[in-house]
């Protein structure tokens, strides 16, 4: 009987500590850290993420986190911290992102399992959309780029359905309101573009013209036009 | 045994042509609904009592049995759900669901489907297998264009995770199966980018537990190739020149000559260390003269520099500047400190083979030591102390090579020098180097002849008739003190100073500077020293717009810095240049220069200098395509000038006029570029009608690029028709050759020039045939 009990306890802990591969760093720029079991690892593209991994971005750093079912990509903005989790339910992967601080942008493929973005005071659950979430100074701001998101305040349990271009703020006091701040979405997208990051076509991080990629290579393009109208480009790359 | 018995019964039943008639259509398995078997009893003499299904996978030999009905019933239509049995067979990865059915009634009549040999000839219903989309999904990295060796390529197998047979996974790189270098972790296939070529194709395949074979798309990825820690570039140039003089007049004696030389330059980088190399080998190298061959090897790192061979340290303008030191130069660099030291020789010893040939060139080893200590950051502000010591080494030559005795007197064929310079300089850069301030001061001690050696204190006190506070012999390592020393006194006489400001503001590049060197200031290790000179300079370059540039300046110089001469010669220069190139309109260029050289002697002094030169030139030109055969650029310039001697001598009062006309034709249908021009210049002295100069030049240059610019032959002709003091001369030059680019980064050029100079009185006639060959390659 003792052996059976021991087996049950061991099995319980094995289940608890089982670290399932749930996502991958699909692209990054700058310095990204992964905190796993209290140990900090410097991330690089292709690193596999497991349940409860905390991903941290430093100044001018970005990361694209892609879940293993290819059903969602979470893009982490500079100076942000996120904890990711996922669980398999049949053939789908239910995903959860907890923003500790900063901003993340999520793009979700429809019918690919539940997708939740959580902050200390707010939960946003979606099934196929593209939206931004910022947790800063105890206030959660969510901007819907496209699709529909159900947003629930954890304190008051009040919820609202947010649609494309809506910006919702939620706080520790239980308030959840739509605000008039269209710049929130545009500013973040501009920041993303200025940093040469997070192309929505491929959800990845590429090195654009005149920027620095994670290899430290700068590229400039100079366009030259001949008198006959022929355009030639001179590309200069340097490290 | 039961089956055999059953078959016998079936056969008997069939052959007995029983009255039991049932219809059944073969099962068509669908994945869209639960599959059923249907039977319809058309004729029977009694109730149906049993329906049995026998089924198996095509991979199996034995049938499984399922009783669909095992009790009598009056029903004549039957349907039986057999999805469980089908799923059971699917798991066996079979391609077909094979079955037959035996139906019997209470009268003992039996019928089977199929009717003939059903056990050996069963129905074969194809199993529809689930088509899996996106079995393999590349999820990292997004950008496959620049992968690093060892980087992860992550492929998700999430969609096939439940049917995956990991042992069947096949990773193909460039059509070859990878045996190592990948791991399967949960539903992820993680492939480490291996050592491989730049362009690669990757694909993955696997057989699933249901037998299905799944294949990924082919992913193209580029590997970032390993960059060697050592990189380099350079070029090698080989040069041959030959000048042959012919038909020379008796009064001239030009020597035919030739030179062959090779120049190799290589610059490399290893991690943070730059490596530089320069090598010049010339056939003109001759031990009877200063060296022409040069070699240099340098290592430049963030903390330490080492220069070996011929190197110009350029520590400061007044100490060590633009003079090649053959030896060792180093620099030790800290955040705010830099110490540089250079040791070697400025000149090498040359001892003529025939020492008695007093006209033969000879030279001591001129040994050199200099140092510079800098505090601060050269990009913001820095202060430096400088030191340079240069001294001819008497022992490097035999005494007879530099000293002779005649008439009980010692004569020196060459005089050895000794020179010590100390100084300081300062730089301040403000506003991102838009405003730059600089200053330097230095003081020198110089001995123009140390051949007699150092004087004793007693000798020197007798010579100067005063008591000296030091012993000259004690300071000999610093400077040899004897009668040939430049008088030394702390002050401007032995000093050089400079200061200035450079500003890049408001599209202006403005420099204002002041420099003064005393008459006794010498620095043998600087190429920029002119004794006894004070120069105040103002230069401004203004970019008004992309089409309009103005530059101008003024300079005042004098040659009596410490007021020790009877008269001071002052030179004043003023110049200005305007360039205006409006789009689509003719360009304009205006140059003006005014020089005056004047001393402060009395006007009746016969040696007084008072000369003024003034010249102005206006040029205009235009590019046009009026000519049907060529795009043409034409320009015309007109210049006017005056040179006047205002002194008592009144040696000249010239009027100058010149006009030039230049054309460039770029032909439309052939790759020919032709240039043609003439310049007519006349200078007339108003004070003497016989004193006239005429210079007329015409040139015609042609370039004809062939084979996509790989071969560029040329033919140039130039003729000068001159007249000086009524003596006419002509100078005709014809040259032809070609430049050839046989392979990338390599070119060779060969040309030959024939020059003929003839003069009216034939006293200076000559012909010159010159040939030149250059081969240059870069790597």
Which residues of chain A from 140 to 199 reach within 8 Å of chain B, CB to CB? none
- Domain check: are B188 and B150 in the same one? yes
Domain annotation covers residue B707: no
A108 Cβ neighbours under 8 A, 6+ residues apart? A71, A72, A115, A126, A127, A128, A129, A130, A147
Residue B606 has phi, psi (to 5 degrees) of -65, -20
DSSP-based three-state secondary structure for B461: helix
Would the CB atoms of A70 and B142 count as touching at under 8 Å? no
- Domain check: are B7 and B111 in the same one? yes
Residue B159 DSSP label: G
Domain annotation covers residue B13: yes
Domain annotation covers residue B675: no
Q: B161, B189, B222: which is the final residue of a domain?
A: B222
Q: Is residue A130 within 8 Å of residue A147, measured between CB atoms?
A: yes
- Domain check: are B119 and B158 in the same one? no
Query: Domain tally for chain B?
Result: 2
B528: left (phi over 0), alpha (psi -120 to 50) or beta: alpha
* pLDDT on residue B344: 96
- Domain check: are B8 and B68 in the same one? yes
Q: Is residue B618 within 8 Å of residue B590, measured between CB atoms?
A: yes
Would the CB atoms of B185 and A93 count as touching at under 8 Å? no
Q: For B130-152, write each residue's pLDDT tens digit.
A: 667 788 999 988 888 878 888 88
- Domain check: are B45 and B85 in the same one? yes
- Domain check: are B22 and B120 in the same one? yes
* pLDDT on residue B131: 67
Structural domain boundaries enclosing B143: 137-222
Domain annotation covers residue B214: yes
Pick out chain B residues at pLDDT < 50.
Answer: 13, 15-17
Beta bridge partners of B170: B205
Would the CB atoms of A215 and B146 count as touching at under 8 Å? yes
Q: For residue B101, what is the domain's CATH number?
A: 2.60.40.10
CA–CA–CA angle A73, B140, A64 (5° rounding)? 35
- Domain check: are B158 and B120 in the same one? no
- Domain check: are B7 and B51 in the same one? yes
Domain annotation covers residue B578: no
Q: Which residues of B touch A213 (CB under 8 A)?
A: 146
- Domain check: are B25 and B115 in the same one? yes
Residue A73, min C-alpha distance to chain B (Å): 10
Average pLDDT by consecutive 10-residue portion of chain A (239 residues)? 51 46 90 90 90 91 91 91 88 88 88 86 81 88 86 88 87 86 79 56 36 43 60 58
Would the CB atoms of A68 and B158 count as touching at under 8 Å? yes
ipTM of the complex: 0.71
CATH architecture entry for A20-199: Sandwich (2.60)
- Domain check: are B122 and B25 in the same one? yes
Would the CB atoms of A47 and B153 count as touching at under 8 Å? no
- Domain check: are B88 and B204 in the same one? no
Rounded percentage of chain B residues whose pLDDT exceeds 70: 97
B777-to-A140, B73, B281, B283, B748 alpha-carbon distances in Å: 65, 102, 16, 20, 9
Residue B83 DSSP label: H
Helix (H), strand (E) at residue B229 = none
Domain annotation covers residue B173: yes
* pLDDT on residue B227: 61
Q: Where are the domains of chain A?
A: 20-199, 207-239
Which residues of chain B from 617 to 636 reach within 8 Å of chain A, CB to CB? none
Instruction: Name the residue facing A70 among B139, B152, B224 (closest C-beta).
Output: B139
- Domain check: are B79 and B109 in the same one? yes
Q: B97, B126, B155: which is the final residue of a domain?
A: B126
B775 Cβ neighbours under 8 A, 6+ residues apart? B237, B238, B746, B747, B748
Residue A7, min C-alpha distance to chain B (Å): 24
* pLDDT on residue B715: 95
Domain annotation covers residue B569: no
Q: Which residues of B touch A70 (CB under 8 A)?
A: 134, 137, 139, 156, 158
Q: B222, B246, B266: which is the final residue of a domain?
A: B222
* pLDDT on residue A158: 87
Domain annotation covers residue B161: yes
* pLDDT on residue B515: 96
Residue A68, min C-alpha distance to chain B (Å): 6
Q: For B294-314, write each residue's pLDDT tens digit.
A: 999 999 998 999 999 999 999
Whether A205 and chain B come into contact, CB under 8 Å, resolves to: yes
Would the CB atoms of B188 and A93 count as touching at under 8 Å? no
Give this prediction's pTM: 0.60
Which residues of chain A from 83 to 142 reach within 8 Å of chain B, CB to CB? 91, 93
Would the CB atoms of A21 and B146 count as touching at under 8 Å? no
């Amino acid at each position: 009987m003792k052996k059976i009990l021991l087996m049950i306890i061991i099995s319980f802990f094995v289940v608890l500590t089982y670290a399932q591969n749930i996502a991958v760093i699909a692209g990054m720029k700058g310095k990204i850290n992964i905190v796993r079991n209290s140990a900090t690892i410097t991330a690089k593209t292709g690193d596999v993420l497991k349940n409860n991994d905390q991903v941290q971005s430093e100044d001018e750093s970005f990361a694209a986190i892609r879940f293993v079912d290819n059903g969602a990509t979470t893009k982490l903005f500079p100076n942000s911290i996120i904890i990711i989790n996922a669980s398999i339910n049949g053939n789908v992967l239910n995903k959860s992102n907890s923003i500790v601080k900063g901003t993340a942008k999520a793009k979700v493929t429809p019918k690919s399992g539940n997708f939740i973005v959580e902050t200390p005071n707010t939960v946003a659950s979606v099934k196929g959309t593209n939206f931004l979430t910022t947790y800063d100074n105890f206030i959660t701001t969510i901007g819907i780029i496209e699709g529909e998101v159900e947003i629930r305040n954890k304190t008051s349990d009040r919820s609202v359905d947010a649609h494309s271009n809506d910006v919702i703020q939620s706080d520790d006091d239980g308030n959840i309101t739509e605000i008039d701040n269209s710049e929130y979405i545009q500013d973040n997208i501009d920041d993303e573009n200025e940093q040469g990051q997070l192309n929505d076509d491929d959800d990845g991080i590429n090195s654009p013209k005149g920027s620095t990629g994670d290899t430290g290579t700068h590229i400039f393009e100079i366009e030259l036009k001949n008198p006959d109208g022929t355009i030639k480009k001179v590309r200069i790359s340097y490290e | 045994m039961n089956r055999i018995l059953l078959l016998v019964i079936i056969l008997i039943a069939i052959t007995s042509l029983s009255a039991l008639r049932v219809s059944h259509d073969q099962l068509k398995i669908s994945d869209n609904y639960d599959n059923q078997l249907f039977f319809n009893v058309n004729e029977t003499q009694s109730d149906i009592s049993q329906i049995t299904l026998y089924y198996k996978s095509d991979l199996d030999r034995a049938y499984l049995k399922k009783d669909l009905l095992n009790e009598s019933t009056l029903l004549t239509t039957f349907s039986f759900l057999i999805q469980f049995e089908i799923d059971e067979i699917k798991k066996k990865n079979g391609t077909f669901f094979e079955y037959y059915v035996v139906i019997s009634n209470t009268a003992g009549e039996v019928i089977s489907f199929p009717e003939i040999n059903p056990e050996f000839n069963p129905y074969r219903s194809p199993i529809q297998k689930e088509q899996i989309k996106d079995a393999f999904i590349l999820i990292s990295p997004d950008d496959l264009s620049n992968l690093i060796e060892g980087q992860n390529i992550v492929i998700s197998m999430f969609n096939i995770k439940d049917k995956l047979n990991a042992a069947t996974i096949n990773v193909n790189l460039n059509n070859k199966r990878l045996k190592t270098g990948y791991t399967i972790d949960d539903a992820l296939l993680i492939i480490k980018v291996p050592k491989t070529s730049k362009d690669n194709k990757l694909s993955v395949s696997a057989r699933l537990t249901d037998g299905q074979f799944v294949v990924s798309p082919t992913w193209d990825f580029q590997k970032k190739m390993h960059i060697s820690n050592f990189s380099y570039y350079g070029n090698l140039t080989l040069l041959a020149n030959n000048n042959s003089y012919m038909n020379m007049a008796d009064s001239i004696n030009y020597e035919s000559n030739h030179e062959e030389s090779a120049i190799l330059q290589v610059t490399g980088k290893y991690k943070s260390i730059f490596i530089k190399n320069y090598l010049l080998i010339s056939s003109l190298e001759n031990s009877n003269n200063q060296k022409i061959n040069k070699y240099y090897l340098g290592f430049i790192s963030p903390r330490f520099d080492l220069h070996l061979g011929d190197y110009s340290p350029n520590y400061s303008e007044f100490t060590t500047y633009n003079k090649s030191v053959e030896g060792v130069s180093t620099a030790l660099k800290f955040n705010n400190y830099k110490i540089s030291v250079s040791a070697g020789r400025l000149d090498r010893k040359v001892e003529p083979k025939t020492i008695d040939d007093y006209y033969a060139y000879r030279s001591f080893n001129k040994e050199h030591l200099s140092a510079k200590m800098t505090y601060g950051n050269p990009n913001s502000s820095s202060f430096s102390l400088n030191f340079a010591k240069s001294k001819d080494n008497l022992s490097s030559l035999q005494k007879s090579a530099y000293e002779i005795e005649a008439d009980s007197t010692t004569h020196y064929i060459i005089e050895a020098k000794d020179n010590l310079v100390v100084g300081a300089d300062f730089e301040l850069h403000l506003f991102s180097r838009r405003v730059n301030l600089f200053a330097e001061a230095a003081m020198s001690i110089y001995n123009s002849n140390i051949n007699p050696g150092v004087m004793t204190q007693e000798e020197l006190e007798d010579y100067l008739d005063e008591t000296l506070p030091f012993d000259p012999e004690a300071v000999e390592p610093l400077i040899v003190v004897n009668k040939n020393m430049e008088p030394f006194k702390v002050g401007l006489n032995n000093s050089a100073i400079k200061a200035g400001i450079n500003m890049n503001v408001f599209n202006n590049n403005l420099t204002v500077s002041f420099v003064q060197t005393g008459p006794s200031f010498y620095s043998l290790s600087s190429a920029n020293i002119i004794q006894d000179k004070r120069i105040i300079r103002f230069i401004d370059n203004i970019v008004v717009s992309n089409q309009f540039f103005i530059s101008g300046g003024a300079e005042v110089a004098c040659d009596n810095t410490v007021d020790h001469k009877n008269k001071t010669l002052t030179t004043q220069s003023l110049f200005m240049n305007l360039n205006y190139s409006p789009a689509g309109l003719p360009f304009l260029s205006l140059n003006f220069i005014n020089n005056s050289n004047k001393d402060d002697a009395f006007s009746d002094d016969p040696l007084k200098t008072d000369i003024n030169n003034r010249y102005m030139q206006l040029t205009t030109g235009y590019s046009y395509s009026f000519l049907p055969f060529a795009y043409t650029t034409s320009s015309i310039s007109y210049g006017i000038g005056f040179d006047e001697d205002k002194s008592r001598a009144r040696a000249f009062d010239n009027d100058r006029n010149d006009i030039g006309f230049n054309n460039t034709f770029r032909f439309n249908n052939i790759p020919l570029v032709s240039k043609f021009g003439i310049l007519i210049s006349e200078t007339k002295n108003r004070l003497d009608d016989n004193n006239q100069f005429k210079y007329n030049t015409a040139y015609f240059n042609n370039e004809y690029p062939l084979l996509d610019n790989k071969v560029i032959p040329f033919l140039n002709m130039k003729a000068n028709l001159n007249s000086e003091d009524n003596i006419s001369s002509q100078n005709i030059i014809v040259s032809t050759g070609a430049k050839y680019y046989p392979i990338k980064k390599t070119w060779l050029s060969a040309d030959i020039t024939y020059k003929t100079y003839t003069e009216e009185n034939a006293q200076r006639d000559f012909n010159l045939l010159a040939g030149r060959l250059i081969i240059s390659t870069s790597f």
